[in-house]
Each structure stands twice: as C-alpha cells, then as structure tokens.
Chain A
Amino acid sequence: MARVAIEKVIVVGLDGLEPRLVGEMLRRGELPHLARLSAEGGLGRVATTSPAQTPVAWSSFATGTNPGGHGIFDFIAREPRSYRPDLALNRYEQPSPFLPARVVNLRRGQPVWDLLSSAGIRSVILRCPCSYPPDPLRGRLLSGMGVPDLRGGFGTGTFYTTDPAEAARESEQVVPLDWPGPGSGPIESVVIGPRNPKDRSDATTPLTIDPRPDEGRVLLRTSGTPGELELRPGSWSPWVRLRFKLGLLQGARGIVRFLLRRLEPGRLELYASPVNFDPMAPPFPISHPDLYAADLADELGLYHTTGMVEDHSALVNGRIDEAAFLSQCDDSWREREGMLSRELHRLDAGLLYCLFDTPDRVQHLFWRFLEPDHPANLGLPPDPEFVGAIAETYRRADSAVGLALEAADDRTLVIAMSDHGFGSFRRGVNLNAWLREHGLLALRDGEGPGGGQEPDLRQVDWSRTKAYALGLTGLYLNRIGREGQGIVPPDEAEGLKEQIARGLSGLVDPRTGREAIRGVDSRERAYAGPFVEEAPDLVVRFGAGYRVSWSGSLGGVSAGIFEDNTRRWSGDHIVDPALVPGLLAMNRPFRDEGAAMVDLAPTILEALGQPAGPAMEGRSLLR
C-alpha cells in the first residue's frame, strides 16, 4: 500500500533521554505517548556521535554529517599557538574597528532547514544547539545552546550574603551585604551585569534589599521593571528587566530572577540568576527573524534565553537547593511547552523542531539519587524526596511528545529522540597526569602538582611536552608548525599517536579494577570531511562510570590519574559513544538497525519530498 504523503515533520528533541530508563518506564506503563509511538512506528536506539556531547550530536542531526563535516568536536577548543582554551561553539569577531563585534557560529555544514528553505519549505527551529547566531531560514528560529548570559559566560549567578567569610565558588560572583540586623533599614547593593568591553570593569545597576525577617520576606527595589518585588524563602521571583549602562551611550538589557535562600535575624542569603539576554532587546540576535524572540516574549511572557537554562552551578555550589533547582526546571519546561504549543498550532506544513534540554540537566545533577553508594553522596546523603526526580523528568518528556501527537494528523511524521543516553559519573580520569607519568608532558621546574593550586597548561614546559589533553575527550600532539611551541616533527606524529592510544586503551582503575578507558581513536579514524584538521589528534572513549576529571577538562595536571567525583554533577554521558546511544521513536515504521544521528536529516528531507543534501552521509530511516 502506498504511504500517505507527509506534509509536516515534528521533531521533539529530548536531550539525554536514556533508552534503558525509557524501556523500564515503558514496561511500567509510565510513558503513554512514547508507548503509542512505539506501537505506531517503533522505538529504538540511535547511535550518537563521537564524542557523545550535545552540541556535537545535534550538529550531526542538523547537517547529516559526522563532526568532520560540521566542525563541532567538543564544547572546548584551543588556540594552538597559545594553547589557550576557548568555547568551540561560536566566537566573537570585529571585522573592522568601525563595526560592532559580531558572533560567528562555528558549526559549519548545511543544516536541514537550509535545504528545506531552498526548496521553499518552511521550518520552525526552537533551541537547537549550535544555532547561535541564528541561521537565516524560511521560517523562524530561536537560538539554543551557545547563547551566553550577559557576561558572556554560560551561567554566572550572584550570591548575596551577610557572611563576610564567604568566597566565590565556580562560575559565580559573591556580593557581601552589610546588615547589622532587623531595624537597621534597607541594604544598598547592586546587580552585576556585563563587563565593559573597554576596560573589563563590571557594569552594575542599583539594587535595594529591604529585609523584613519578622514578616518572613524581603522587599527588593530595582532600577528596572518591576521596580519593587517581594521575595519569600525558597520561591523564585518573576523576571526583572534591567538596563546596564556601558559608557556614555551604550547599554545592555538583561533579565534576572532572584531567590531568597535564607532570612534570619542578622543573616541573609540571596541568589540572583545569571543575567539572561532580554528577548525584547538582545545585544546580539538570538532569533530569526530578529523580532521572533520578542514576539514569543510578547505572547508567552519573558523566558530564559541562555543556552543552558538551568542554574546547575548554583546547585553544585550549594547556593540553591534541589527543590529550587527543580522549580526552575519546571519553569523551563513550561516555557518550552508554551513555545512548542504555539508553533504546533501554527504548523500547516514543513518542519518543526523543539528541543527540551531539561532531562539532560536533571540527570547530570540527580543521578546520585539513583545510586546510594555514589561518591557524590559522601557527606551529602541523598534525600529520598528526590529519588524520583529523573523519572518525573521522563514523564514530563513524554507529555511533550503527547503535545506533538495531539497536533499530528495522518500527514504528519512525529519523531521523538534524544541525542545521547546517560549514565553514572563516579570517577574522573586526568589525562594530563597520565601523559606526565609517561614522560610525554612536563611541567616547568617548581610547578609540580600536589602543592597549592593545581597546575594546568599555563605551567607546562612546552619544550619537553609531546602531548596534552584539553576538553572532554581530546588529546593533542604538540606539533611543530601548528602549536606555538611545538616539538613533535611530522614524521614522529603517527608513531606517537599510536603509542598514546596503545597506552591509554584498556586503562584500568586500580581502585575499582574497572576499565576506565575503552579505547582511543585517531581523528582520521573517527572523522572524515573538510574540518578534520580542527579535531583533536586523538579522541578518548571512557568506560562506564568514568569521564575526564574536572580539572583535566581545562588542561589541569593533577597529582594522580584517578579521582572520585564527589560533586552533585553525578551523572554524565561523555563516555564511549557505544555505551550511550540515544532514543529514537517515530509514528511511522522506520529502520532502527544501525540508525545514527546523521540519518535524521535525510529522513526529514525524504519525508518532505526532498533529496538528501550533497554532503549528507546518512540515509533515510523511513521504511
């Protein structure tokens, strides 16, 4: 029987949904909409990319190419002349002294929505990673992962405290408050905004904090909108719109929320979220057309615009608790559900893609509740209240699939999928420590680990270093002619790569007896395409339960190779991609054997009557 023609394709992206957990919940009947998809078309697994990282995998989804074809190999890249780490997703450049800085998307290749635009077919793309700055297209696009906060970071919150001993932890600012106690009147403080690009000073705007401990509340007065708001412990404030002045003329608009953490006589703790771009007036475009971001805000209210919405750093730093974090996740879900519903209502043909990132963040931070013996639980006993947090997130993901199914007709292809699976992160591996132990990396005299601050690539003696690790899975040779102080000649490179790959493959953690590294691939084996030269020389595939160590990801050189992961960030997915395939379900029969991320773009194109793009490597999964 001929297949009914497809006019609409709806892709519900569910970041990090683990097929094994989905399977268990399906058996328990907890995911009715995914069950329906499974019955109508099928439900299986989709091979993720190497490495199994969100921006890498969704870029392969979008372009139908392996990372060698789109140029995103990791969150982190390095500038080889200086060895300096930097974000690999986008960069800012100033083409002329007379022109303002602009953002350049480092994801190359041709996304599926570009091909559809050329064919006259509209797309609506909501929050796809590596879509900042927004791709021009026939349709609408709201940028996702890659959009920074107003300070240019990925989530720099502010902790206000009356404790003078409190120091800043990771990715945060601490503002001390001078409050003698009740009756002493309001406290004059500031909201910290962007850095002034001229002198790197902090732009601020006034904030008056009026604690009323006897009433169990704090009144905030801001220079923005609303000008006054009330905070009660544990509840997030509404968005506050602020303008930060940057010099005589320039300013930047942002939005921020507050959470009152503690209010006792003489003790006050307040958290301010990272200042997000104001969707009504972002300093750089975050949507196509430009006004789409504002239209969404007009219709649905202000919303998070940063690429990574949830305040994971605040939870990791202990500035907010699990309940407050999940409350924020709930807001994030509602924002995204609102956007999806709006666009489903308008969809009459073409592609609609919407990513829900929250499952990824919740699993990163709540995995320890599934494993009582997780190292992250040492000294931090898991509250039974949160054992079901991940399952609840999966049920919410299932509801999002339900929205799509409700809007689908017999000419609609519905795809629900994740970019990778998930697992435990119990032990970290410091690759630079391994290289140092094997004589391939040397620190400058007097810079050995184990003293005060752990050394990193800034303390490396490059004249005695043949290889170094940076990023979440990458190893680089210190090559002559490429690195600033390279010492590895071209004729030694292949042998050195083989030596390192042999040494690291099968590396066993002496504490657990488990295989920490399953294998190491050369970039020539892992990738093909025009951007392979930008990839790390070697890509490490970690074993289950392992990942690159915290400091190692930014080039740190620790005293030992292995370490317990004691942070709340207790789940992860940056392991051997074979261990963490994503989930794939459709309402039409499809081929799930051997399905990979690169197959999705050709699938969407075929469904809408278009040939695959010339650079695409995959093939349609439709039967």
Chain B
Amino acid sequence: MTMKTLVIGLDGLPADLLLGDDRLAHVRHLMASGGFARLSGERPADPSAFWRSLDLGRLPGPDDDGEGAHWPSLPGLLSGDEPPLLVGGPSCSGGDPIAESEARLAEFSRRLAEAPWSFARLIDNAPALLQASGAEGAIDSWIRRLDDALAPMLERLGDSGTVLIASRGVADSAAVLATTGGGPGGEIPGLRLVDLAPMLLALAGRPIPPSMTGRAPDAPPGPSGDEPDDEQAVRDRLQGLGYL
C-alpha cells in the first residue's frame, strides 16, 4: 500500500498559535502522538520562497530560478502514480480571507475524497491576510475552525501515512508531524525548514535527492497506539456502576 503524505501549510500563523493552544484538539493530538518543533535555522522571509524551500529541502540560492523547477520537489517525489493534489498558495488573495479559506478547505476536502492521491498539500494564507488587514483577532476563531476541519482530512490518510502541519509566522515558524511508521516523538530539537522535505521522504521510504541540503532526523516521530485495556481493568471500572 502506498503511504500517503498530507501537508498543510498555514501562511502567516505565528508558532505560538499553532503549538500553544490547548483548544486545538487535533493539532494537540498530533503533537502528543507525533512530534513538533519551532523551526530553527534560516528561513526565507518571502512567503513564496519559504514554501518553495519546504518543497525543495533547500534554501533559495544564486542558482535558484525563482521557481525551483529544476530541483526535485516533494509533490513530484511523493505523488506516485497519481498527480499531486495541490490547493492554495501563499499569494492567493482577493476577497474576504475567511470566506476564501473556507472555500479552499471545502475544495481540498472534496478532492481528498473523490480521487486517489499519494501527496496532497493545502497552503492557506488566511492568517497572513488577516494580519495584513488588521484583523488579527479573527485568527483565533479561524484556527479553531481549521482544527475542526482536520478530522475528516486525517481520516483520509487511512492507516498508513504522514501528516505535516507547518506554519510560517513573521517572527517564528513551527511544524507538527506525525506518521504511522515512526518511533518516539516529542519535541524535535534543531529541526530546520529544509529538514522537512527529507524527513517526509524518509518516512515514505523514498530516497533523498542530493539537491536537498536538509537531513532527516534519525528517529522520526509517529503516533503510537494507545494500550488496550486489559479485561481486569474493564471489570474494575464497571464495578463502579454499583450494580455489579
């Protein structure tokens, strides 16, 4: 079975809003069962360059054509036989950021459901647009709605896959990553933006192209299933009913 990779990019979202909010139940679960990091190292300030660096596993350099077209990138490396499912981007703008974001989410969810895929990526720039328009207060409710919307997307990963949620904030950036194939998780020290692509490739069992300057940590984070209750524990709990 092909391992699926789901990447969700949140452009303009500060790291604290992704990692520090107990109310984001799904993000919190992924953090606890997988791994997370505040990204260290160099990160392009330009949104397009930031997300391109994530895809390429390398920072823009003098030989970068601005599109990164001649370097192998995640969508091509992980999409397998099916075309990559790509929705949104850092430069999408126009009308109401919230309405646009909801439309993107709806389209992404629909496409996840209607056709086979191996690599799917959503980049939502609602936080950046909300900040730019002075509506930072709306980010709080937006991120909670997005957290709710994660559940059906995560279900589409099935029993074998990897999910990466990455945020690009003005001051700091963060990543939350979980996979069915990994080991112990927790906070991943020293993780850089350019390490994300090698990490996703390693988790999918794919080779890491030499063009990528990042590296995959040795022990990738992964959700470990909860221990099933033993029968005695169930019996003990039931006795609290009083009738037994």
Write the residues of chain A forming the contact surface with B, with a CB cutoff of 8 angstroms.
75-76, 84-87, 94-101, 148-149, 151-156, 170-171, 195, 197-200, 246-251, 274, 281, 308, 312-313, 316, 361, 364, 458, 472, 550, 553-554, 569, 572, 574
Contact = CB atoms under 8 A, between A and B. Distances in A.
A272 to B, nearest CB: 14
B158 interface: yes
A99 B159 contact: no
Interface residues of B, number: 40
B151 interface: yes
Nearest to A86: B234
Contacts of B25: 100
A72 B80 CA distance: 47
Contact of A76 (B32, B224, B225, B238): B238
Contact of A154 (B32, B157, B186, B237): B237
Interface of B: 22, 25-26, 28-33, 151, 154-155, 157-159, 161, 163, 178, 180, 186-187, 223-227, 229, 231, 233-244
A312 B241 CA distance: 9
Contacts of A472: 243
A308 B158 contact: no
Given A198-B224, A247-B32, A569-B242, A171 B234 contact: no
15 contacts: A75-B238, A76-B244, A86-B238, A95-B155, A97-B33, A97-B180, A98-B157, A156-B236, A171-B236, A200-B229, A247-B32, A249-B28, A250-B28, A472-B243, A550-B244
B234 A99 contact: no
Contacts of A156: 236-237, 240
B37 to A, nearest CB: 13
A281 B178 CA distance: 25
Contacts of A200: 227, 229, 233
Contacts of B28: 100, 249-250
Given A154-B237, A197-B226, A198-B226, A96 B159 contact: yes
Contacts of B32: 246-250
A425 to B, nearest CB: 10
A126 to B, nearest CB: 21
A77 to B, nearest CB: 11
B242 A308 contact: yes
Contacts of B158: 96
Contact of B243 (A149, A251, A553): A553
A458 to B, nearest CB: 7
Given A200-B227, A248-B186, A458-B231, A99 B151 contact: yes
Q: Which 8 A-B pairs have the closest CB atoms?
A: A154-B240, A153-B237, A197-B226, A155-B240, A100-B29, A171-B240, A98-B154, A153-B240
B83 to A, nearest CB: 23
Contacts of A281: 22
A274 B237 CA distance: 12
A59 B242 CA distance: 20
> By CB atoms of chain A within 10 A, which of B28, B163, B236, B239 has the most?
B239
